[in-house]
Chains A and B, each alone.
Chain A
Amino acid sequence: VLLAALGVTVVLDVVSVQVAGHALVWPYRALAADLRSTSWHAGITRLAALGALVVGLLLVGAGVHLPHRSVPLRSEPPWLAVVTTRRSLRRAAARSALGVDGVDDARVELHHRRLEVRVRTPLRDPAGLGEAVAEAVGQRLAALGVDERYSLRVSLQAPFAVGGGRGRAGSIGPGGDQARETRGALQ
Chain B
Amino acid sequence: VSRRRLPTERTALGNRIGLVLVGLVLVVASSAALAGPSGPILPRQVGALGAWWWAVAGGVAVLTLVCLRWALVQGRRDGFAAFAVEDDPRRGLTRVPTHVLAQAVEEDLRSIPGVAKASAAFVGWPSEPQLRLSVGLEEGADLDAVRAEVAAGVVGRLCQALELEAIPVLLGVQLDAAHPSARR
A-B contact count (CB 8 A): 177
Q: Closest residue of chain A to B24, judged by CB? A: A60
**A136 close to chain B: CB less than 8 A:** no
* Given the contacts A7-B60, A35-B41, A17 and B26 also touching, CB distance less than 8 Å: no
Does B67 contact A7, Cβ atoms closer than 8 Å? Answer: yes
Does A63 contact B20, Cβ atoms closer than 8 Å? Answer: yes
Of residues 14 through 62 on chain B, the ones whose CB sits less than 8 Å from some CB of chain A are 15-20, 22-27, 29-31, 33-34, 36-44, 48-49, 53-54, 56-57, 60-61
Question: Interface size class for chain B?
Answer: 35 or more
**B144 close to chain A: CB less than 8 A:** yes
**B175 close to chain A: CB less than 8 A:** yes
Main secondary structure of the interface of A (DSSP, over half): helix
**A11 close to chain B: CB less than 8 A:** yes
Q: Which of B20, B38, B39 contacts A60 (CB 8 A)?
A: B20
| Interface 9-mer from B87-95, B99-107, B114-122, B147-155 | B147-155
Does A1 contact B64, Cβ atoms closer than 8 Å? Answer: no
Does B31 contact A53, Cβ atoms closer than 8 Å? Answer: yes
CA–CA, A7 to B40, complex, Å?
24
Contacts of B18 in A (CB 8 A): 63
Query: How many residues of A are in contact with the other chain, CB < 8 A?
Result: 60
Residue ranges of A at the interface with B (Cβ–Cβ < 8 Å): 1, 3-4, 7-8, 10-11, 14-15, 17-18, 28-29, 32, 35-41, 45-46, 48-53, 55-64, 70, 73-77, 79-85, 88-89, 91-92, 95, 143-145
| Subset of 15 A-B contacts with CB under 8 Å | A14-B60, A17-B49, A38-B40, A40-B41, A46-B36, A50-B34, A56-B22, A56-B27, A63-B17, A80-B155, A80-B171, A81-B1, A82-B171, A88-B174, A91-B175
